A = this chain, B = another copy of it.
């Protein structure tokens, strides 16, 4: 940390801050400037709250020096992590495509979608059984029945499955059916849930909260990693801003920033990132051009009849065009798909 003293801080105040800092086991190095004195604090600052030092007399503010995460950081793990899921490798040279309906609605709907996305080139099947919905009056998912249909689709189409888990007590159940556990955007800081999936050995896809910084996303990953589960993937799915022309603002910058900060694979979700089917393909192309390791795309055979997220779901034939278009971009940036 660096503690910045106030303009008029007295030398007693400076001494007293330094003594306090050293009483906590840190070393304190003052640097006396013309307008301000700053105090460099040496030691592992991660367990403390820097803002607390602002309370000491004469302190103006305190700034972190170290990132608050460690296991997720490239500093301590310079090589890219590759997460292997039943023969699919996420984080390597190949751009991976995860596709399927927002919600599992019926056997027909799921099987038709699974067949279509497999045919178009998807590597993993997504589908929601437990659905987080803003309204208590909206469709809440098929639950266990949905999980069983997903297992059936996996057997039939040889596609690994990704589905969301919404609460700690359902982790064991969902882990029996799914190859990847998804932590939804609204649960990114549900720490009890992060703790629970951290104790499994299942691959986890953490979606960035719509209100969460990149650093907070990495801290959510740190929760899972620090509980022993190293198979973590991150997903940029759009953030909330003042702009209302799209459902969310897809933070394209987050892709190269995350690639620089962490070794974990980065997946892009242009369906939620835009909220409108007609923008999904251009943003999918952009995400891969920016360096994403994979895509997650909502596909529905009849979007107007979808029980959730119809407006941002692609029909199978549009999804097939998306794959063709994105593959060209992937090749232009030196990757396969």
Q: Which residues of A contact B (CB under 8 A)?
A: 2, 4, 6-8, 20, 29, 31-36, 38, 40, 42-44, 46-47, 49, 51-56, 63, 65-66, 68-69, 75, 132-138, 166-170, 186-187, 189-193, 209-216, 219, 222-223, 226-227, 239-247, 249-257, 260, 273-279, 282-283, 285-291, 303-304, 306, 308-312, 325, 328-329, 331-333
Contacts and interface: CB of A to CB of B under 8 A. Distances in A.
Contact of A136 (B40, B223, B241): B223
29 contacts: A31-B42, A32-B42, A33-B40, A33-B65, A46-B137, A47-B138, A55-B311, A56-B304, A136-B222, A136-B226, A167-B192, A170-B192, A211-B212, A211-B242, A239-B241, A239-B242, A239-B243, A249-B249, A249-B251, A250-B252, A250-B253, A253-B273, A253-B274, A253-B283, A285-B333, A286-B287, A288-B289, A289-B289, A328-B333
A302 B83 CA distance: 41
Q: Count this chain's copies in the assembly.
A: 4
Contacts of A136: 191, 219, 222-223, 226-227
A223 B252 CA distance: 30
A42 B49 contact: no
Nearest to A51: B311
A8 B76 CA distance: 10
Contacts of A246: 253, 257
A215 B245 CA distance: 8
Given A75-B8, A186-B189, A257 B245 contact: yes
A63 B275 contact: no
B135 A219 contact: yes
A177 B273 CA distance: 42
Nearest to A6: B75
Contacts of A242: 211, 213, 239-242
A260 to B, nearest CB: 7
A212 B69 CA distance: 26
Nearest to A167: B192
A243 B242 CA distance: 8
Shortest beta-carbon contacts, A-B, top 6 = A211-B211, A31-B40, A51-B311, A289-B289, A167-B192, A286-B286
Contacts of A166: 190-192
Contacts of A312: 51
Contacts of A214: 243, 245
Contacts of A275: 51
A221 to B, nearest CB: 10
Given A33-B42, A34-B44, A134-B219, 5 more contacts: A7-B75, A32-B42, A49-B138, A289-B289, A329-B329
Given A193-B167, A282-B289, A137 B241 contact: no
Contacts of A331: 332
A282 B290 contact: yes
A1 B279 CA distance: 24
Interface centre among A38, A63, A288 (most CB of B within 10 A): A38
A208 B242 CA distance: 14
Contact of A190 (B133, B187, B216): B187
A31 B32 CA distance: 12
